Amino acid sequence: MNQQVYLVGGAVRDALLGVAVYDRDWVVVGSTPEQMLAQGFVQVGKDFPVFLHPKSREEYALARTERKSGVGYHGFDIAASPNVTLEEDLQRRDLTINAMAQDAQGHIIDPYGGQADLTQRVLRHVSAAFSEDPLRVLRVARFAAKLQPFGFTIHPDTLALMQAMVQSCELAHLTPERVWQEVVKALSCDKPSVFFSVLRQVGALAVLFPELERLFAVPQPPQHHPEGDAGVHTLMVLDAACALSDSLEVRFGALMHDLGKGVTPEALWPKHHGHEAAGVPLVSALCERYRVPKKMQSFAEKVTLWHGIIHTALDQQGAPYLKAKTVLKVLKGCGALKDPEGFNKILLACEADAKGRTGFEHIDYKPTAFWLGVLAAVSQLNNQEILAQGLSGAAIGEAIDAKQLQLAHEYMSAITA
């Protein structure tokens, strides 16, 4: 059998959509691992034969079939042989728009109607084998977010299949790392709220992220939150963060910031006093469950704990509302003096929180200028001048604290005058 090479998957889909193609994957039909190695390819796949091209370093996978033999996405018997056809390889893929190939002459091979679904802007599963891999629930949600600018919708049959997969407890077999990988990819989209909305629609949000699910149908004070629902607000904040920053930290912090509202006793609704502190252990638990990088976890915890007081820096006339001592506590709690760039990201997440409300989308978020101004003032402290006073031990720290407090107070007095 002659070896044949085809471009497959996302590269074919994106080219047909007119989207720039950055990554290309290839399928090789009619070949063996020995033949690939003889051509200079480097094998990297352990579960099935995947090779890196000796020059381009792009991935070339031998055509393969999969048969369900266990639970989760590891529970498959993989068969890669020269007899596997291109159509058989494409049939195991998730969505029709990802199950197209292109030959060396540029012809599209489309046995499962991917081009028609591209035209109709439909996300549709290729076959019943879709339900064998629980990760596909998250992948379809992510594709819905990624392709949202094109107006894609999920086919009702695919939605029903996703719901059935959730109800059969298949998601319990997902590893934390794979879930987090999909979250990161979703957060990189322009409108990641779609990802979480789809997960909620099929019941997966309650299974994977119960802390987020609990926010829905929780009321908030209408004068501050015309959108009402705390879950709706959270997704609005997430999208607002995406409009403000490409930083995954900012976006994830925005997503996590109000988890505490989900545990406010109903008797206290619609107010949520203390939700900031109440949310921190929830953020910590979620991050530890999915092995979120510690730096990102720490950032989200800071946004959660401090966003409320950051909002209240100024009164309605724009004058400082907080005491200098409190302002200094916020700066130190946020790590602003050691990491000004990180503090600026915290302020972006807070701005997203302020703008993620119905009717407030285009407000001028004035606390940012105040916090950056007071940080600059406090940062003018010269430690050498303190040390030159001949102090020692705890007295040095006390002198530094006193000087920082003085600088913060002077700045706040100057902008009040």
Between 81 and 362, the higher pLDDT residue: 362
85-144 pLDDT tens trace: 999 999 989 999 999 999 999 999 999 999 999 999 999 999 998 998 999 999 999 999
Rounded Cα–Cα distance for residues 256 and 265 (Å): 19
Question: Residue 317's CB: how many other CB atoms inside 10 A?
Answer: 7
Which segment of 280-289, 339-348, 408-417 scores lowest on mean pLDDT? 408-417
Which residues fall within 8 angstroms of residue 377, CB to CB, at 6 or more apart? 407, 408, 410, 411
What is the model's pLDDT at position 61?
A: 92
What is the model's pLDDT at position 381?
A: 79
Question: Residue 100's CB: how many other CB atoms inside 10 A?
Answer: 28
Rounded Cα–Cα distance for residues 395 and 382 (Å): 16
Q: Are 291 and 274 in contact (CB under 8 A)?
A: no
Please report which confidence band the pLDDT of residue 354 belongs to, taking 50, 70 and 90 as the band edges: very high
CATH fold of 1-120 reads: Beta Polymerase; domain 2 (3.30.460)
Which residues fall within 8 angstroms of residue 21, CB to CB, at 6 or more apart? 10, 11, 14, 15
What is the model's pLDDT at position 114?
A: 97
CA distances from 229 to 122, 254, 270, 356, 393 (A): 29, 16, 10, 12, 51
Please report which confidence band the pLDDT of residue 71 belongs to, taking 50, 70 and 90 as the band edges: low
340: preceding bond cis by omega (within 30 degrees):
no
Please report which confidence band the pLDDT of residue 417 belongs to, taking 50, 70 and 90 as the band edges: low
Question: Residue 286's CB: how many other CB atoms inside 10 A?
Answer: 20
Residue 74 pLDDT greater than 60, yes or no = no
Between 247 and 69, the higher pLDDT residue: 247
- For helices 135-146 and 156-167, give the axis angle rounded to 10 degrees: 140
Residue 72 pLDDT greater than 80, yes or no = no
Residue 76 pLDDT greater than 70, yes or no = no
Its pTM stands at 0.91
Average pLDDT rounded to a whole number, residues 30-51: 87
What is the rounded average pLDDT for all residues in the chain? 93
Average pLDDT rounded to a whole number, residues 13-38: 92
What is the model's pLDDT at position 5?
A: 95
362-393 pLDDT tens trace: 999 999 999 999 999 999 877 767 766 767 67
Which residues fall within 8 angstroms of residue 179, CB to CB, at 6 or more apart? 138, 208, 290
